[in-house]
Amino acid sequence: LFASIVLHELAHALMARRHGLPMKGITLFIFGGVAEMEAEPRSGKVESLTAVVGPIASVAIALACFGLYWAGLQWGWPTAVNGVLNYLGLINLVLVAFNVIPAFPLDGGRILRAALWGWTGNLHWATRVSAAIGSAFGLLLIILGCLVFTTGAFIGGLWWFLIGMFLRSAAQMSYQQLLV
């Protein structure tokens, strides 16, 4: 799973560099990772290409895992190996589904920002709107975490709460960084 996240972020970094965006590095968190660009993309097109390549990489990883899982079933690989391959395929699809939610700074939020930027020509407005959506989505996850927590699922509730806090903070910081 960790390698899948690294490859996802590496895809972002390589696409950004291909379009002349210098990279600070890739930072990995318990919740995922961030390919850190030193500057904002030059256009909405570059932003959307850089954003979409991560989910595409995750879909490719999922398909590869499912292909190996199917091969393992045919060739009689151990159940544990097949189970891990199936799990990695599924979890990568979950990562894609989560990442394409149009909430900045998730990949879907970056695609939304790129579309708004292309539509209006105003990066600040596009970032403010997409970051506000990302912040609201983070708040929704915090509330969901609290609700799940009250049902007795402590770990699940805490997980959603922390992801929500992280996304809300990242969305707000991304907009503030652009302003600076």
63 Cβ contact list (under 8 Å, min separation 6)? 89
Query: What angle, rounded to 10 degrees, do the helices at 123-150 and 154-179 form?
Result: 160
Give which of 88, 108, 89, 90 is closest to 98, Cα–Cα. Answer: 108
Catalytic residue among 9, 36, 38, 40: 9
Is position 36 annotated as part of the catalytic site? Answer: no
Torsions phi, psi of 37, nearest 5?
A: -90, 145
> Looking at the annotation, which residues are catalytic?
9
